[in-house]
Amino acid sequence: MSSVTDPARTAAGGLRPLAERTSATPEQLNEWLRQMLLIREFEVRTMQAYQDKRIGGFCHIYIGQEAVAVGCTAAVRHADPIVTAYRDHGHALARGMDPKYCMAEMFGRIGGCAKGKGGSMHMFDKPNNLFGGHGIVGAQTPLGAGLAFAKKYQDEVIDGGTSEHVTLCFLGDGALNQGAFYEAMTLASLFDVPVIFVVENNGYSMGTSIERGTSMSNRIIAKGEGCGLRGYEIEGMDVIDVYEAMKDVADTARAESRPAMVDLKTYRFKGHSMSDPRKYRTRDEEEQWESDDPITRLRDAMYEAGLLDEAGFKALGKEQKLLVRESIAWAEASPEPPIEELHTDVYVERFGPYLGTSMPQIVTDAEEN
């Protein structure tokens, strides 16, 4: 379990009253619960579709980490850019992507957010300022610094005002040893770029525990502090804790126009990917973390505060199940990308300066024979 003090609990281990923990409204709490239920149901159905071979390629499930995506996105403004790694379904849904576009992308269909070309690891949503979904470990961190720099340049130089945006750049603890991450932190610090590097520290880089693969694993924010970033350690299994702490982080980064690094302690309930049998950890460990389910945490807190009852919780869950079922049906009804799409979205010009302006002839095996 996490070594970070849990602000949601009393010294005796019980949950503190909601009124003492957050200024969030009942409507906000209900929306966070809805989003986490949506992400959970989406991922459960994604696993089933993958096992049924209706989804191919790589697939990384977000179950257990829902409080991170929901709490972090709630703590910033909609205009603030977000970029993440390949375990990205939760971030896309928390940011507001219609689940049918997300599911269609999973199915490789033209109705997907990237027209079926990206798949599970490459969710993009320009209207919601989600800039991916990136499949190379740590490669999104320079992009995060670049997005933050671009927004700051727009605010201060082009618009002639003050910097108003922060950028959230999510990464896993497995990206901590990537050179690109250190370059991104160094440049962000050097140029006073307001990017927040959020480490979703679920304890494992694929099958390697953080203790075996990363130096200073008990205090990874020292890596950011060494580059001049503010460092924060946050309990990541409670969406209220995440929201309240991340709001302070974002407000500080926005006010100072400076970068930060956050160690968010969380846990993935499933394997690294759908092909991971999880033999590197014990069932006792998994059950201990599963007993601290982020959905159950918020549900119980709302029960205790009189903001929700069992019937209301079941109704909310039923709504998300229906929404995901409808999304699957919509995705399956969406056609596969036509062959003409093979050469689009590669260059700014349709076929690039060296390929000419007409569609190259493509001969299929059937036509050749």
Q: How many residues does the chain have?
A: 369
> What letter represents residue 210's amino acid?
I
Helix, coil or strand: residue 364: coil
Which range of residues forms the domain containing residue 279? 18-337
Give dist(CA 364, CA 369) in Å, integer: 9
Q: Kindly state whether residue 5 falls inside one of the protein's structural domains.
A: no
Q: Kindly state whether residue 317 falls inside one of the protein's structural domains.
A: yes
Q: What is the pLDDT of residue 350?
A: 58
Q: Of all residues in the chain, what percent are helix, strand and coil, respectively (each to 5)?
A: 45, 10, 45
Q: What is the pLDDT of residue 176?
A: 96
CATH number for position 124:
3.40.50.970
Block means of pLDDT (10 residues each) for the chain, 369 residues, are 66 76 94 99 97 94 98 98 97 98 97 95 96 95 98 94 95 96 98 98 92 92 97 97 98 97 97 90 94 96 96 98 98 95 76 52 53
The alpha helices in 199-354, defined as continuous H runs, are 210-213, 221-225, 239-256, 283-290, 294-304, 310-333
Whose CA is closest to 100, among 337, 319, 334?
334
Give dist(CA 78, CA 130) in Å, integer: 10
> What letter represents residue 348's amino acid?
V
In contact, 34 and 320? CB cutoff 8 Å = yes
Q: What are phi and psi of 173, to 5 degrees?
A: -65, -20
Give dist(CA 151, CA 167) in Å, integer: 9
Q: Encode 270-295: b = buried (16+ Cβ within 10 Å), e = exposed.
A: bbbbbebebeeeeeeebeebeebbbb
DSSP state of 359: P
Q: Kindly state whether residue 63 falls inside one of the protein's structural domains.
A: yes
In contact, 270 and 61? CB cutoff 8 Å = yes
Q: Kindly state whether residue 1 falls inside one of the protein's structural domains.
A: no
Q: Kindly state whether residue 124 falls inside one of the protein's structural domains.
A: yes
Q: Kindly state whether residue 361 falls inside one of the protein's structural domains.
A: no
Q: What is the pLDDT of residue 340?
A: 87
Number of domains in the chain: 1
Q: Kindly state whether residue 221 falls inside one of the protein's structural domains.
A: yes
Cβ-defined contacts of 324-327 (< 8 Å, 24+): 324/38, 324/41, 324/42, 324/45, 324/99, 324/103, 325/45, 326/100, 327/42, 327/98, 327/99, 327/100, 327/102, 327/103, 327/104
Q: What is the pLDDT of residue 17?
A: 81
pTM: 0.90
Q: What is the pLDDT of residue 8?
A: 72
Q: Kindly state whether residue 364 falls inside one of the protein's structural domains.
A: no
In contact, 334 and 109? CB cutoff 8 Å = yes
Give dist(CA 70, CA 297) in Å, integer: 14
